[in-house]
Each structure stands twice: as C-alpha cells, then as structure tokens.
C-alpha cells in the first residue's frame, strides 16, 4: 500500500493537533491551580505570564481578562482587598496595572507591618 504525501502530512497534523490539545489542557490546569505561595509578586507574575505565553505557542491566545482572573485566584488572602477592588471595577484592568496595584499594595503592607513593629 502506497503512502501518499497527503496521508503522511495528515498523520503528522493529527499528531501535532493531539499534542497541542494536551499542552493546552496541561497549561490551563497549571493556570487554574497556580498560587503565589511564598513567591514574590514579580516571580508570580513571571510564572503566570510564562504560562500565558505557553498557551500562545500552543495555538491559543489567552485574553488579558482571563489571565487577570487566574492571577487573582492564585493570590493569598492578604491580597483580598486588591481582589475586591479589581472585581468592583467597571473597566477591565490591564495586566500591567494589576502588577502595579499588587506591588504597591505589598509595599504598603510591608511598611505598615514594619512601622507597627517599631512602636
């Protein structure tokens, strides 16, 4: 039986599509279960942005609003004020603005905690 170039190409495309779907599923699971934990905001954002980039390389762009949801979901309870503020916004927040808000919030928290230790 003769294997034509079209059949070979179709087989390759089928394998690639299967691998891409599996990669998308794994990346979505990683996004859904990621947590900041002991990471800094910068480390956490780098990790989440990397997962979003993995989605793109697997053929599916992740909208900023969806990435924001994943990021907020993985934050510790100490960030609930920021989470509530972002959720209450009328306009969606950009990834860059979210990063700025979280870094500023963390810095204020550290100043407050540091200041109360000295009293």
Burial class (CB in 10 A: 0-12, 13-18, 19+), 80: exposed
pLDDT tens, residue by residue, 9-49: 777 666 666 667 788 888 999 999 999 999 999 999 999 99
What pLDDT is recorded for position 117?
Answer: 46
Segment 86-90 mean pLDDT: 92
Segment 90-117 mean pLDDT: 86
Give the residue with greater pLDDT, 100 vs 5. Answer: 100
For residues 25 and 55, is the Cβ–Cβ distance under 8 A?
A: no
| pTM assigned to the model | 0.78
Phi/psi for 32 (5° steps) reads -70, -25
Mean pLDDT of the chain: 86
Check pLDDT > 60 for residue 89.
yes
Where in the sequence is the domain holding 96, given as residue range(s)?
Answer: 5-117
The domain total for the chain is 1
């Amino acid at each position: 039986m003769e294997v034509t170039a079209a059949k070979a190409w179709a087989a390759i495309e089928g394998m690639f599509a299967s691998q891409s779907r599996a990669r998308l599923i794994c990346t979505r699971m990683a996004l859904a279960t990621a947590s900041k934990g002991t990471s800094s905001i910068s480390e956490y954002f780098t990790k989440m942005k990397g997962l979003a980039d993995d989605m793109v390389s697997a053929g599916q762009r992740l909208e900023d609003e969806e990435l924001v949801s994943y990021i907020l979901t993985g934050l510790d309870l100490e960030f609930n004020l920021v989470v509530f503020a972002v959720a209450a916004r009328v306009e969606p927040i950009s990834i860059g603005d979210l990063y700025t808000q979280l870094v500023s919030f963390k810095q204020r928290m550290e100043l407050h905690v540091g200041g109360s230790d000295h009293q």
